[in-house]
Amino acid sequence: MAIKWGTDSKVEYVEPTYNFPLQIGASGEMSLRVENSRKLLVKVVGTEHGITQQQLVQKLRVFLMVHIKPYLAQLIKSEKINIFEIDEHLLRMSEALQTQIAPDFLDYGLSLERFFLTTIVKPEDDRAYQKFKELHFRQYADITEARLRQQVGMIEQETQAQRMIIEAQGLSQKRALEGYTYQDERGFDVAERVASNEAVGQMTNLGVGLGVMAGVGGTVGGMVSSAIGGIGAEAPAAPKDDTSDFEQRLKKLELLKGKIPDELYDAKMQEILNSI
């Protein structure tokens, strides 16, 4: 039981994945049992008076190396086992090597009960080996990094989408509490832009602006357009004692205070006052 074995020199072969020459060592344990004592006496003991386990192992060492080195190289090549992943295949390689070597042991009257390949000695000081080792692990690192970037990007997009939804819900709730709609808010924006236009003093440009407000602003746009329409229209003068009409026109004009030029506001105010 537990007879140690190991290669006395490096096993040379061409690495099947990257196709570069490589030298490795191998070692492990095995268990032997005498299957045919006559064969053992004739082929191993011979004229000696006896044999110990140590002597038996010594005699079989050369025999084992002659067989296991080519078997190991052939197995790695036929199975296309990557040198950088070889430790994952030790058990399967042990079973395959035992199957190949067992008949050779039987020729000496010995049964190979157990055979284990436990260690592969890699040429860590070989520059070519180090180069291909870096390339091998780099490819997995690059793939992993790309996947991580993709996942991070998806998470950021989902976060941004959720943020936009939350902000939109917040604005919607704010409008509902303050009693206006999105269309009303757009109408406010258009009114402010019209009021800040330097050319708004010209009635033609003002009419265009009010048309936009009426189309976009809904409630606010219609209200402002009606106010200006009422101020600028050549309507028959209301009776001077019609207080209700005067107050309505005055309220409409007050809505535009700060949104139209002061000159236009003063002129319209004077026009209303003259109509009293």
Render pLDDT for 50-73 as a digit per residue (tens, 0 to 9): 778 788 778 777 788 888 889 999
Decide: 14 and 21 in contact? Cβ < 8 Å: yes
Span of 22-26, 93-97, 269-273 with lowest mean pLDDT: 269-273
Long-range contacts: 213-217, Cβ < 8 Å, 24+? Answer: 213/187, 216/183, 216/186, 216/187, 216/190, 217/183, 217/184, 217/186, 217/187, 217/188, 217/190, 217/191
Around 132, how many Cα atoms within 13 Å sit in the side-chain half-sphere? 19
- What is d(CA 20, CA 14) in angstroms, rounded to the nearest whole number? 5
Q: Which tens digits make up the pLDDT trace of 8-45?
A: 888 888 988 888 898 999 999 999 899 998 988 888 77
Tell me the per-residue pLDDT of 111-160, one tens digit each, with 9 for 90 and over: 999 999 999 999 888 888 888 888 877 877 667 777 777 778 788 888 88
Whether the pTM exceeds 0.75: the reply is no
Average pLDDT across the chain, whole number: 77
> 66: which 2 tokens?
């002659």
Please, what is the angle between helix 182-196 and helix 203-216, to 10°?
170
Greater confidence, 272 or 95? 95
pLDDT at site 63: 80
- In the chain, pLDDT over 70 holds for what percent of residues? 74
pLDDT given at position 191: 60
